[in-house]
Chain A
Amino acid sequence: MKIQAINYETKSGFPSGPSGFKVGMQENSIVAQGYNANLDGSRASKSTSKAAVSFTGGVAKLEQFGEKLFDKIARSEAAEKALNFFNDKPVVGQSLISLIVAGAIRPATNIAMAGKDDKEDSLYAASHAISSAVIGFLASSVLMAPFDIAAKRLAKRPQRYIKGAEENLGIKKMGARQLEKSSRNGIISTILKMGPDTFVFGIAKAMLTIALIPPILKYVFHVEKKPKTKPETVTPKTNIDFCDKPVFQQFKGGLK
Protein backbone atom coordinates (compact mmCIF):
# COMPACT_ATOMS: atom_id res chain seq x y z
CA MET A 1 0.00 0.00 0.00
CA LYS A 2 1.39 3.33 -0.99
CA ILE A 3 1.21 6.01 1.65
CA GLN A 4 1.72 9.59 0.64
CA ALA A 5 3.76 11.91 2.77
CA ILE A 6 2.31 14.98 4.44
CA ASN A 7 3.54 17.87 2.38
CA TYR A 8 6.29 19.21 4.62
CA GLU A 9 8.46 20.28 1.71
CA THR A 10 9.52 23.90 1.65
CA LYS A 11 10.85 25.94 -1.21
CA SER A 12 14.35 24.76 -0.44
CA GLY A 13 13.26 21.17 -0.93
CA PHE A 14 13.34 20.18 2.70
CA PRO A 15 12.58 16.44 2.98
CA SER A 16 9.48 15.22 4.67
CA GLY A 17 11.10 13.87 7.83
CA PRO A 18 14.49 13.31 9.37
CA SER A 19 13.76 9.71 10.23
CA GLY A 20 12.23 9.01 6.83
CA PHE A 21 8.90 8.18 8.45
CA LYS A 22 6.20 9.08 6.00
CA VAL A 23 2.63 9.33 7.05
CA GLY A 24 -0.50 10.34 5.28
CA MET A 25 -3.75 9.16 3.78
CA GLN A 26 -4.84 8.14 0.34
CA GLU A 27 -8.30 7.65 -1.02
CA ASN A 28 -7.95 3.88 -1.19
CA SER A 29 -6.01 3.66 2.04
CA ILE A 30 -6.62 1.15 4.78
CA VAL A 31 -8.84 3.42 6.80
CA ALA A 32 -10.99 4.52 3.86
CA GLN A 33 -11.71 0.83 3.14
CA GLY A 34 -12.95 0.33 6.66
CA TYR A 35 -10.03 -1.67 7.97
CA ASN A 36 -8.28 -1.08 11.24
CA ALA A 37 -4.60 -0.38 10.79
CA ASN A 38 -1.53 -1.00 12.89
CA LEU A 39 0.82 1.88 13.43
CA ASP A 40 3.13 0.70 10.66
CA GLY A 41 0.26 0.75 8.19
CA SER A 42 -0.33 -3.01 7.92
CA ARG A 43 -3.85 -4.42 8.10
CA ALA A 44 -4.95 -5.64 11.51
CA SER A 45 -8.55 -6.70 11.24
CA LYS A 46 -11.50 -6.02 9.03
CA SER A 47 -14.18 -3.70 10.32
CA THR A 48 -17.61 -3.52 8.74
CA SER A 49 -18.18 0.08 9.79
CA LYS A 50 -16.65 3.06 8.05
CA ALA A 51 -13.77 4.74 9.84
CA ALA A 52 -15.02 7.61 11.98
CA VAL A 53 -11.74 9.56 11.99
CA SER A 54 -9.06 10.35 9.47
CA PHE A 55 -5.94 8.49 10.39
CA THR A 56 -2.61 10.17 9.89
CA GLY A 57 0.12 7.97 11.30
CA GLY A 58 -1.09 7.40 14.85
CA VAL A 59 -2.72 10.69 15.83
CA ALA A 60 -6.29 11.43 14.82
CA LYS A 61 -7.18 14.51 12.84
CA LEU A 62 -9.65 16.88 14.50
CA GLU A 63 -13.15 15.61 13.72
CA GLN A 64 -15.39 17.74 11.49
CA PHE A 65 -12.89 20.56 11.77
CA GLY A 66 -14.48 23.88 10.98
CA GLU A 67 -18.03 22.50 10.93
CA LYS A 68 -18.94 22.21 14.59
CA LEU A 69 -20.57 25.05 16.54
CA PHE A 70 -17.46 25.28 18.74
CA ASP A 71 -15.32 25.93 15.65
CA LYS A 72 -17.63 28.70 14.45
CA ILE A 73 -17.53 30.38 17.87
CA ALA A 74 -13.77 29.90 18.12
CA ARG A 75 -13.21 31.66 14.78
CA SER A 76 -15.29 34.68 15.72
CA GLU A 77 -13.79 38.06 16.65
CA ALA A 78 -15.88 38.09 19.81
CA ALA A 79 -14.22 34.93 21.13
CA GLU A 80 -10.75 36.38 20.55
CA LYS A 81 -11.66 39.61 22.30
CA ALA A 82 -13.34 37.79 25.20
CA LEU A 83 -10.36 35.53 25.86
CA ASN A 84 -7.92 38.44 25.69
CA PHE A 85 -10.18 40.33 28.11
CA PHE A 86 -10.25 37.49 30.65
CA ASN A 87 -6.49 37.03 30.41
CA ASP A 88 -5.71 40.73 30.84
CA LYS A 89 -8.39 41.58 33.43
CA PRO A 90 -9.32 38.52 35.49
CA VAL A 91 -10.93 40.46 38.34
CA VAL A 92 -13.17 42.50 36.07
CA GLY A 93 -13.96 39.31 34.18
CA GLN A 94 -14.98 37.60 37.40
CA SER A 95 -17.21 40.56 38.28
CA LEU A 96 -18.80 40.44 34.84
CA ILE A 97 -19.67 36.75 35.23
CA SER A 98 -21.01 37.53 38.74
CA LEU A 99 -23.12 40.33 37.29
CA ILE A 100 -24.83 37.88 34.95
CA VAL A 101 -25.06 34.94 37.35
CA ALA A 102 -25.72 36.67 40.66
CA GLY A 103 -27.26 39.83 39.26
CA ALA A 104 -29.79 38.25 36.96
CA ILE A 105 -30.05 34.45 37.04
CA ARG A 106 -29.91 34.03 40.82
CA PRO A 107 -32.55 36.64 41.76
CA ALA A 108 -34.86 35.28 39.07
CA THR A 109 -34.45 31.75 40.42
CA ASN A 110 -34.91 32.90 44.04
CA ILE A 111 -38.17 34.63 43.24
CA ALA A 112 -39.41 31.77 41.04
CA MET A 113 -38.70 29.21 43.77
CA ALA A 114 -40.25 31.29 46.55
CA GLY A 115 -43.33 30.00 48.29
CA LYS A 116 -46.04 32.19 49.84
CA ASP A 117 -44.37 32.03 53.26
CA ASP A 118 -40.87 33.05 52.29
CA LYS A 119 -41.54 35.60 49.57
CA GLU A 120 -40.07 38.41 51.66
CA ASP A 121 -36.95 36.39 52.40
CA SER A 122 -36.56 35.65 48.69
CA LEU A 123 -36.84 39.33 47.79
CA TYR A 124 -34.25 40.15 50.41
CA ALA A 125 -31.92 37.46 49.08
CA ALA A 126 -32.49 38.66 45.50
CA SER A 127 -31.70 42.27 46.52
CA HIS A 128 -28.55 41.09 48.21
CA ALA A 129 -27.46 39.22 45.10
CA ILE A 130 -28.17 42.15 42.74
CA SER A 131 -26.48 44.64 45.05
CA SER A 132 -23.41 42.46 45.39
CA ALA A 133 -23.11 41.86 41.64
CA VAL A 134 -23.57 45.50 40.61
CA ILE A 135 -21.24 46.89 43.27
CA GLY A 136 -18.66 44.23 42.47
CA PHE A 137 -18.69 44.99 38.75
CA LEU A 138 -18.58 48.78 39.04
CA ALA A 139 -15.92 48.80 41.74
CA SER A 140 -13.72 46.24 40.02
CA SER A 141 -13.91 47.99 36.66
CA VAL A 142 -12.77 51.29 38.16
CA LEU A 143 -10.39 50.19 40.89
CA MET A 144 -8.61 47.35 39.13
CA ALA A 145 -8.01 49.14 35.81
CA PRO A 146 -4.64 50.68 36.84
CA PHE A 147 -3.47 47.31 38.23
CA ASP A 148 -4.29 45.57 34.95
CA ILE A 149 -2.55 48.22 32.83
CA ALA A 150 0.54 48.11 35.06
CA ALA A 151 0.67 44.30 34.84
CA LYS A 152 0.45 44.40 31.05
CA ARG A 153 3.18 47.03 30.89
CA LEU A 154 5.46 44.89 33.04
CA ALA A 155 4.79 41.74 31.01
CA LYS A 156 5.71 43.51 27.76
CA ARG A 157 9.04 44.92 28.98
CA PRO A 158 10.09 43.06 32.11
CA GLN A 159 13.77 43.94 31.67
CA ARG A 160 12.90 47.54 32.41
CA TYR A 161 11.05 46.89 35.67
CA ILE A 162 12.01 43.59 37.26
CA LYS A 163 15.61 42.99 36.28
CA GLY A 164 17.12 41.26 39.29
CA ALA A 165 14.14 38.99 39.94
CA GLU A 166 15.52 36.15 37.82
CA GLU A 167 16.34 33.99 40.83
CA ASN A 168 12.87 34.39 42.30
CA LEU A 169 11.27 33.42 39.02
CA GLY A 170 13.62 30.54 38.30
CA ILE A 171 14.83 31.91 34.96
CA LYS A 172 18.31 32.60 33.64
CA LYS A 173 17.66 35.79 31.71
CA MET A 174 14.90 38.36 32.04
CA GLY A 175 12.73 38.68 28.98
CA ALA A 176 9.08 38.64 27.89
CA ARG A 177 9.31 35.10 26.53
CA GLN A 178 11.17 33.74 29.55
CA LEU A 179 8.67 35.40 31.85
CA GLU A 180 5.79 33.82 29.99
CA LYS A 181 7.36 30.37 30.24
CA SER A 182 8.04 30.67 33.95
CA SER A 183 5.43 28.86 36.06
CA ARG A 184 6.47 30.94 39.08
CA ASN A 185 5.61 34.07 37.16
CA GLY A 186 2.15 32.60 36.61
CA ILE A 187 1.71 32.30 40.37
CA ILE A 188 3.01 35.70 41.40
CA SER A 189 1.34 37.62 38.59
CA THR A 190 -2.05 36.07 39.45
CA ILE A 191 -1.60 36.86 43.13
CA LEU A 192 -0.60 40.46 42.42
CA LYS A 193 -3.40 40.95 39.88
CA MET A 194 -6.18 39.45 42.01
CA GLY A 195 -4.76 40.16 45.47
CA PRO A 196 -5.96 43.76 45.92
CA ASP A 197 -9.53 42.74 45.16
CA THR A 198 -9.30 39.61 47.34
CA PHE A 199 -7.81 41.19 50.45
CA VAL A 200 -8.70 44.87 50.33
CA PHE A 201 -11.47 45.90 47.97
CA GLY A 202 -13.50 42.73 48.51
CA ILE A 203 -14.29 43.56 52.14
CA ALA A 204 -15.20 47.16 51.30
CA LYS A 205 -17.43 45.91 48.47
CA ALA A 206 -19.16 43.49 50.83
CA MET A 207 -19.98 46.27 53.28
CA LEU A 208 -21.24 48.53 50.52
CA THR A 209 -23.38 45.66 49.27
CA ILE A 210 -25.22 45.41 52.59
CA ALA A 211 -25.80 49.17 52.60
CA LEU A 212 -27.33 49.04 49.13
CA ILE A 213 -29.92 46.34 49.91
CA PRO A 214 -32.68 48.65 51.25
CA PRO A 215 -32.69 50.96 48.18
CA ILE A 216 -32.83 47.96 45.87
CA LEU A 217 -35.71 46.46 47.86
CA LYS A 218 -37.50 49.80 47.61
CA TYR A 219 -36.84 50.85 44.01
CA VAL A 220 -36.46 47.52 42.22
CA PHE A 221 -38.92 45.28 44.05
CA HIS A 222 -41.11 48.05 45.53
CA VAL A 223 -40.94 46.48 48.97
CA GLU A 224 -40.59 48.71 51.97
CA LYS A 225 -39.91 47.47 55.46
CA LYS A 226 -42.94 48.43 57.53
CA PRO A 227 -42.11 49.85 60.96
CA LYS A 228 -42.98 47.34 63.64
CA THR A 229 -46.15 48.38 65.59
CA LYS A 230 -45.63 48.35 69.34
CA PRO A 231 -47.77 45.75 71.05
CA GLU A 232 -50.42 47.16 73.32
CA THR A 233 -49.28 47.09 76.95
CA VAL A 234 -51.87 46.11 79.50
CA THR A 235 -51.68 48.48 82.48
CA PRO A 236 -53.12 46.98 85.63
CA LYS A 237 -56.06 48.88 87.18
CA THR A 238 -54.99 50.36 90.52
CA ASN A 239 -58.26 52.04 91.59
CA ILE A 240 -61.07 49.58 91.88
CA ASP A 241 -64.35 51.18 92.96
CA PHE A 242 -65.92 48.46 95.11
CA CYS A 243 -69.14 50.34 95.52
CA ASP A 244 -69.98 49.90 91.84
CA LYS A 245 -69.84 46.12 92.03
CA PRO A 246 -73.36 44.55 92.42
CA VAL A 247 -72.08 42.06 95.02
CA PHE A 248 -71.06 44.80 97.32
CA GLN A 249 -74.23 46.79 96.77
CA GLN A 250 -76.29 43.93 98.23
CA PHE A 251 -74.09 43.79 101.31
CA LYS A 252 -75.56 45.47 104.25
CA GLY A 253 -72.92 45.72 106.78
CA GLY A 254 -72.41 47.58 109.96
CA LEU A 255 -72.57 46.85 113.66
CA LYS A 256 -75.90 46.30 115.19
Chain B
Amino acid sequence: MQVSSINNISYNNHIKRNNAQPTFTGIKVTPIAREYFNAIDWLTNKYYAKFYKSKLAGKFLEKTSKFADNMTTHMMVLGSTVISGMYIMRTLQNDKLDKEKRKTLAINDTLTWGVSTAGTYIVDGKLRNLFDNKMATRYAANYLAKHPEDMNKELLGEWDPANIRQVMQEAPQRALAKYAEMKKTLGENTPELKEWMKRVRFKEDRHFKELEEIDGSKLKIKDFNMDILKSPKLSNQIKGISILKSLFIGTMIYRYLVPVLIMKPANKLGAYIHAKNAEKAKTEQADAKKLEKTA
Protein backbone atom coordinates (compact mmCIF):
# COMPACT_ATOMS: atom_id res chain seq x y z
CA MET B 1 0.00 0.00 0.00
CA GLN B 2 1.43 3.31 -0.99
CA VAL B 3 0.33 5.40 1.95
CA SER B 4 2.43 8.40 1.14
CA SER B 5 0.84 8.83 -2.26
CA ILE B 6 -2.64 8.56 -0.76
CA ASN B 7 -1.73 11.15 1.82
CA ASN B 8 -0.32 13.37 -0.88
CA ILE B 9 -3.53 13.10 -2.84
CA SER B 10 -5.65 14.03 0.17
CA TYR B 11 -3.28 16.88 1.05
CA ASN B 12 -3.33 18.15 -2.50
CA ASN B 13 -7.08 17.98 -2.56
CA HIS B 14 -7.23 19.91 0.69
CA ILE B 15 -5.01 22.59 -0.77
CA LYS B 16 -7.01 22.73 -3.94
CA ARG B 17 -10.28 22.96 -1.98
CA ASN B 18 -9.03 25.92 0.06
CA ASN B 19 -7.66 27.79 -2.92
CA ALA B 20 -10.50 26.89 -5.31
CA GLN B 21 -12.51 29.79 -6.67
CA PRO B 22 -16.26 29.01 -6.66
CA THR B 23 -17.77 29.31 -10.12
CA PHE B 24 -21.24 30.87 -10.05
CA THR B 25 -23.50 30.21 -13.01
CA GLY B 26 -26.70 31.86 -11.81
CA ILE B 27 -28.68 34.55 -13.62
CA LYS B 28 -27.34 38.02 -13.09
CA VAL B 29 -30.23 40.22 -12.06
CA THR B 30 -29.79 43.95 -12.49
CA PRO B 31 -31.45 46.25 -9.93
CA ILE B 32 -34.00 47.38 -12.52
CA ALA B 33 -34.90 43.81 -13.43
CA ARG B 34 -35.20 42.96 -9.73
CA GLU B 35 -37.62 45.85 -9.21
CA TYR B 36 -39.56 44.75 -12.28
CA PHE B 37 -39.95 41.19 -10.93
CA ASN B 38 -40.91 42.62 -7.53
CA ALA B 39 -43.58 44.71 -9.22
CA ILE B 40 -44.99 41.61 -10.91
CA ASP B 41 -45.04 39.76 -7.57
CA TRP B 42 -46.78 42.70 -5.95
CA LEU B 43 -49.37 42.86 -8.72
CA THR B 44 -50.07 39.13 -8.47
CA ASN B 45 -50.40 39.07 -4.69
CA LYS B 46 -51.71 42.52 -3.78
CA TYR B 47 -53.62 43.65 -6.85
CA TYR B 48 -55.11 40.55 -8.47
CA ALA B 49 -55.35 38.24 -5.48
CA LYS B 50 -56.81 40.91 -3.22
CA PHE B 51 -59.55 41.80 -5.69
CA TYR B 52 -60.36 38.17 -6.35
CA LYS B 53 -60.84 37.46 -2.64
CA SER B 54 -62.64 40.70 -1.71
CA LYS B 55 -66.29 40.83 -0.61
CA LEU B 56 -66.93 43.64 -3.10
CA ALA B 57 -65.85 41.35 -5.96
CA GLY B 58 -68.22 38.66 -4.72
CA LYS B 59 -71.23 40.99 -4.67
CA PHE B 60 -70.28 42.57 -8.00
CA LEU B 61 -69.82 39.21 -9.74
CA GLU B 62 -73.12 37.93 -8.42
CA LYS B 63 -74.97 40.77 -10.11
CA THR B 64 -72.98 40.94 -13.35
CA SER B 65 -72.60 37.28 -14.29
CA LYS B 66 -74.80 37.74 -17.37
CA PHE B 67 -72.29 40.19 -18.89
CA ALA B 68 -69.57 37.55 -19.18
CA ASP B 69 -69.95 37.13 -22.93
CA ASN B 70 -68.80 40.56 -24.09
CA MET B 71 -66.86 41.93 -21.18
CA THR B 72 -64.13 43.22 -23.50
CA THR B 73 -66.67 45.40 -25.32
CA HIS B 74 -67.98 46.77 -22.02
CA MET B 75 -64.49 47.72 -20.89
CA MET B 76 -63.77 49.41 -24.24
CA VAL B 77 -66.98 51.41 -24.02
CA LEU B 78 -66.19 52.38 -20.43
CA GLY B 79 -62.71 53.56 -21.43
CA SER B 80 -64.09 55.62 -24.32
CA THR B 81 -66.74 57.11 -22.03
CA VAL B 82 -64.11 58.25 -19.54
CA ILE B 83 -61.94 59.83 -22.25
CA SER B 84 -64.87 61.44 -24.10
CA GLY B 85 -66.18 62.81 -20.82
CA MET B 86 -62.81 64.35 -20.13
CA TYR B 87 -62.65 65.98 -23.57
CA ILE B 88 -66.20 67.35 -23.21
CA MET B 89 -65.40 68.87 -19.80
CA ARG B 90 -62.24 70.48 -21.20
CA THR B 91 -64.18 71.91 -24.13
CA LEU B 92 -66.85 73.40 -21.90
CA GLN B 93 -64.21 74.96 -19.63
CA ASN B 94 -62.11 76.34 -22.50
CA ASP B 95 -62.08 80.15 -22.12
CA LYS B 96 -60.49 80.71 -25.53
CA LEU B 97 -63.74 79.77 -27.26
CA ASP B 98 -67.03 81.65 -27.02
CA LYS B 99 -69.99 80.03 -25.29
CA GLU B 100 -71.86 79.06 -28.45
CA LYS B 101 -68.78 77.41 -29.98
CA ARG B 102 -68.10 75.50 -26.75
CA LYS B 103 -71.66 74.21 -26.69
CA THR B 104 -71.52 73.14 -30.34
CA LEU B 105 -68.24 71.28 -29.87
CA ALA B 106 -69.48 69.59 -26.70
CA ILE B 107 -72.66 68.45 -28.45
CA ASN B 108 -70.56 67.21 -31.35
CA ASP B 109 -68.33 65.18 -28.99
CA THR B 110 -71.35 63.78 -27.14
CA LEU B 111 -73.06 62.74 -30.36
CA THR B 112 -69.86 61.10 -31.60
CA TRP B 113 -69.60 59.13 -28.37
CA GLY B 114 -73.29 58.18 -28.42
CA VAL B 115 -73.34 57.01 -32.02
CA SER B 116 -70.05 55.09 -31.56
CA THR B 117 -71.28 53.34 -28.41
CA ALA B 118 -74.60 52.33 -29.93
CA GLY B 119 -72.87 51.22 -33.13
CA THR B 120 -70.32 49.11 -31.24
CA TYR B 121 -72.95 47.23 -29.27
CA ILE B 122 -75.19 46.67 -32.29
CA VAL B 123 -72.44 45.42 -34.59
CA ASP B 124 -70.80 43.33 -31.85
CA GLY B 125 -74.14 41.71 -31.05
CA LYS B 126 -74.90 40.94 -34.69
CA LEU B 127 -71.48 39.40 -35.34
CA ARG B 128 -71.16 37.46 -32.10
CA ASN B 129 -72.63 34.21 -33.41
CA LEU B 130 -70.59 34.38 -36.59
CA PHE B 131 -67.26 34.85 -34.80
CA ASP B 132 -67.72 33.02 -31.50
CA ASN B 133 -69.42 29.94 -32.96
CA LYS B 134 -69.05 29.46 -36.70
CA MET B 135 -65.65 31.03 -37.21
CA ALA B 136 -64.27 29.67 -33.95
CA THR B 137 -65.48 26.15 -34.84
CA ARG B 138 -63.83 26.26 -38.26
CA TYR B 139 -60.66 27.72 -36.73
CA ALA B 140 -60.62 24.93 -34.14
CA ALA B 141 -61.01 22.33 -36.87
CA ASN B 142 -58.02 23.81 -38.70
CA TYR B 143 -56.00 23.95 -35.49
CA LEU B 144 -56.74 20.29 -34.81
CA ALA B 145 -55.84 19.35 -38.39
CA LYS B 146 -52.46 20.96 -37.71
CA HIS B 147 -52.13 19.59 -34.15
CA PRO B 148 -53.72 16.11 -34.13
CA GLU B 149 -52.24 15.42 -30.67
CA ASP B 150 -54.96 17.71 -29.25
CA MET B 151 -57.84 15.74 -30.79
CA ASN B 152 -58.04 13.38 -27.78
CA LYS B 153 -58.35 10.39 -30.07
CA GLU B 154 -57.74 8.00 -27.21
CA LEU B 155 -61.10 9.11 -25.81
CA LEU B 156 -63.10 9.84 -28.95
CA GLY B 157 -61.51 7.48 -31.45
CA GLU B 158 -60.23 8.39 -34.87
CA TRP B 159 -62.09 11.36 -36.31
CA ASP B 160 -61.69 13.90 -39.08
CA PRO B 161 -61.56 17.58 -38.05
CA ALA B 162 -63.83 18.36 -41.02
CA ASN B 163 -66.56 16.47 -39.13
CA ILE B 164 -66.07 18.54 -36.02
CA ARG B 165 -69.73 19.55 -35.75
CA GLN B 166 -70.90 15.93 -35.83
CA VAL B 167 -68.25 14.90 -33.32
CA MET B 168 -69.24 17.74 -31.00
CA GLN B 169 -72.80 16.46 -30.96
CA GLU B 170 -71.83 12.89 -30.12
CA ALA B 171 -68.75 13.60 -27.98
CA PRO B 172 -70.33 13.42 -24.46
CA GLN B 173 -71.94 10.03 -25.20
CA ARG B 174 -68.81 8.64 -26.83
CA ALA B 175 -66.60 9.79 -23.96
CA LEU B 176 -68.90 8.20 -21.38
CA ALA B 177 -69.13 4.99 -23.36
CA LYS B 178 -65.35 4.86 -23.67
CA TYR B 179 -64.98 5.44 -19.93
CA ALA B 180 -67.39 2.60 -19.18
CA GLU B 181 -65.50 0.37 -21.58
CA MET B 182 -62.12 1.18 -19.98
CA LYS B 183 -63.48 0.63 -16.46
CA LYS B 184 -64.63 -2.83 -17.56
CA THR B 185 -61.33 -3.63 -19.28
CA LEU B 186 -58.85 -2.14 -16.80
CA GLY B 187 -60.89 -2.39 -13.61
CA GLU B 188 -62.25 0.33 -11.36
CA ASN B 189 -59.82 2.56 -9.42
CA THR B 190 -56.81 0.65 -10.74
CA PRO B 191 -53.51 2.40 -11.50
CA GLU B 192 -53.95 1.48 -15.17
CA LEU B 193 -57.31 3.23 -15.28
CA LYS B 194 -55.84 6.28 -13.53
CA GLU B 195 -53.03 6.29 -16.06
CA TRP B 196 -55.52 6.16 -18.94
CA MET B 197 -57.59 8.94 -17.38
CA LYS B 198 -54.46 11.07 -17.11
CA ARG B 199 -53.68 10.48 -20.78
CA VAL B 200 -57.19 11.59 -21.85
CA ARG B 201 -56.88 14.58 -19.46
CA PHE B 202 -59.76 13.58 -17.19
CA LYS B 203 -58.08 13.53 -13.79
CA GLU B 204 -61.11 12.62 -11.69
CA ASP B 205 -64.25 10.46 -11.99
CA ARG B 206 -66.49 13.47 -11.41
CA HIS B 207 -65.19 15.04 -14.65
CA PHE B 208 -66.81 12.15 -16.50
CA LYS B 209 -69.98 12.52 -14.40
CA GLU B 210 -70.22 16.17 -15.49
CA LEU B 211 -70.50 14.97 -19.09
CA GLU B 212 -73.83 13.31 -18.29
CA GLU B 213 -75.41 16.73 -17.90
CA ILE B 214 -74.14 18.05 -21.22
CA ASP B 215 -76.48 18.12 -24.22
CA GLY B 216 -74.27 17.47 -27.23
CA SER B 217 -76.63 19.16 -29.66
CA LYS B 218 -76.18 22.47 -27.81
CA LEU B 219 -72.46 22.13 -27.21
CA LYS B 220 -70.41 25.10 -28.41
CA ILE B 221 -66.81 24.86 -29.51
CA LYS B 222 -65.54 26.63 -26.40
CA ASP B 223 -67.23 24.11 -24.10
CA PHE B 224 -66.36 21.14 -26.36
CA ASN B 225 -62.70 22.05 -25.95
CA MET B 226 -62.91 22.80 -22.23
CA ASP B 227 -64.95 19.74 -21.29
CA ILE B 228 -63.71 17.07 -23.69
CA LEU B 229 -60.61 17.97 -25.73
CA LYS B 230 -59.08 19.90 -22.81
CA SER B 231 -56.42 21.64 -24.90
CA PRO B 232 -55.21 24.80 -23.10
CA LYS B 233 -53.59 26.14 -26.27
CA LEU B 234 -56.81 25.83 -28.29
CA SER B 235 -58.74 27.38 -25.41
CA ASN B 236 -56.50 30.47 -25.45
CA GLN B 237 -56.94 30.85 -29.18
CA ILE B 238 -60.72 30.52 -29.09
CA LYS B 239 -60.79 33.26 -26.44
CA GLY B 240 -58.39 35.25 -28.60
CA ILE B 241 -60.88 35.18 -31.51
CA SER B 242 -63.62 36.68 -29.35
CA ILE B 243 -61.34 39.34 -27.88
CA LEU B 244 -59.89 40.27 -31.30
CA LYS B 245 -63.39 40.60 -32.74
CA SER B 246 -64.55 42.94 -29.93
CA LEU B 247 -61.41 45.06 -30.03
CA PHE B 248 -61.43 45.38 -33.81
CA ILE B 249 -65.12 46.31 -34.03
CA GLY B 250 -64.87 48.81 -31.17
CA THR B 251 -61.71 50.49 -32.46
CA MET B 252 -62.94 50.72 -36.04
CA ILE B 253 -66.21 52.31 -34.95
CA TYR B 254 -64.88 54.64 -32.24
CA ARG B 255 -61.77 55.80 -34.00
CA TYR B 256 -62.56 55.65 -37.70
CA LEU B 257 -66.06 54.99 -38.97
CA VAL B 258 -67.96 57.45 -36.78
CA PRO B 259 -65.46 60.35 -36.53
CA VAL B 260 -64.36 60.24 -40.16
CA LEU B 261 -67.08 58.71 -42.24
CA ILE B 262 -70.16 59.80 -40.33
CA MET B 263 -69.53 62.90 -38.22
CA LYS B 264 -67.51 64.80 -40.80
CA PRO B 265 -70.12 64.56 -43.58
CA ALA B 266 -72.82 65.18 -40.94
CA ASN B 267 -71.03 68.40 -39.86
CA LYS B 268 -70.72 69.52 -43.48
CA LEU B 269 -74.39 68.80 -44.06
CA GLY B 270 -75.25 70.72 -40.90
CA ALA B 271 -73.14 73.70 -42.01
CA TYR B 272 -74.76 73.62 -45.48
CA ILE B 273 -78.29 73.58 -44.00
CA HIS B 274 -77.33 76.37 -41.58
CA ALA B 275 -75.99 78.49 -44.45
CA LYS B 276 -79.13 77.87 -46.53
CA ASN B 277 -81.38 78.87 -43.63
CA ALA B 278 -79.31 82.01 -43.02
CA GLU B 279 -79.59 82.96 -46.70
CA LYS B 280 -83.34 82.34 -46.66
CA ALA B 281 -83.73 84.47 -43.53
CA LYS B 282 -81.67 87.26 -45.13
CA THR B 283 -83.84 87.20 -48.27
CA GLU B 284 -87.03 87.27 -46.19
CA GLN B 285 -85.68 90.20 -44.16
CA ALA B 286 -84.80 92.13 -47.35
CA ASP B 287 -88.28 91.46 -48.78
CA ALA B 288 -89.95 92.64 -45.58
CA LYS B 289 -87.97 95.93 -45.64
CA LYS B 290 -88.98 96.54 -49.27
CA LEU B 291 -92.63 96.06 -48.41
CA GLU B 292 -92.31 98.53 -45.52
CA LYS B 293 -90.78 101.19 -47.80
CA THR B 294 -93.45 100.84 -50.50
CA ALA B 295 -96.13 100.98 -47.82
Contacts and interface: CB of A to CB of B under 8 A. Distances in A.
A43 B82 CA distance: 61
Given A147-B43, A161-B48, A168-B52, A90 B247 contact: yes
Given A101-B255, A183-B65, A184-B61, A206 B87 contact: yes
B178 interface: yes
Interface in B160-184: 161-166, 169-170, 173-174, 176-178, 181
A7 B158 contact: yes
Interface stretch (A77-85, A218-226, A230-238, A239-247): A77-85
A186 B71 contact: yes
A149 B251 CA distance: 24
B3 to A, nearest CB: 57
Interface string A131-166: 000000000000000110111011000000110110
Interface in B130-170: 135, 138-139, 141-143, 145-146, 153-154, 156-159, 161-166, 169-170
* Range, interface on chain B: 35 or more
A106 B259 contact: yes
Interface string B225-268: 01000101001110111011001101110011001110010000
A212 interface: no
Contacts, number: 229
- Majority secondary structure, A binding face: helix
B228 to A, nearest CB: 12
Nearest to A21: B170
Given A65-B161, A110-B260, A83 B237 contact: yes
A187 B87 CA distance: 28
B9 interface: no
Contact of A74 (B54, B139, B251, B259): B139
B237 A87 contact: yes
Contacts of A65: 141, 145, 161-162
Contacts of B250: 94
Nearest 3 Cβ contacts at the A-B interface: A83-B240, A8-B157, A74-B142
Interface of A: 6-10, 12, 14, 17-19, 23, 56-62, 65-66, 70-71, 74-75, 79-80, 82-88, 90, 93-94, 97-98, 101-102, 105-106, 109-110, 113, 125, 129, 146-147, 149-151, 153-154, 161-162, 164-165, 167-170, 176-177, 180-181, 183-184, 186-188, 190-192, 194-195, 197-199, 202-203, 206
9 contacts: A59-B166, A74-B139, A75-B143, A83-B236, A113-B260, A146-B36, A161-B49, A198-B75, A203-B86
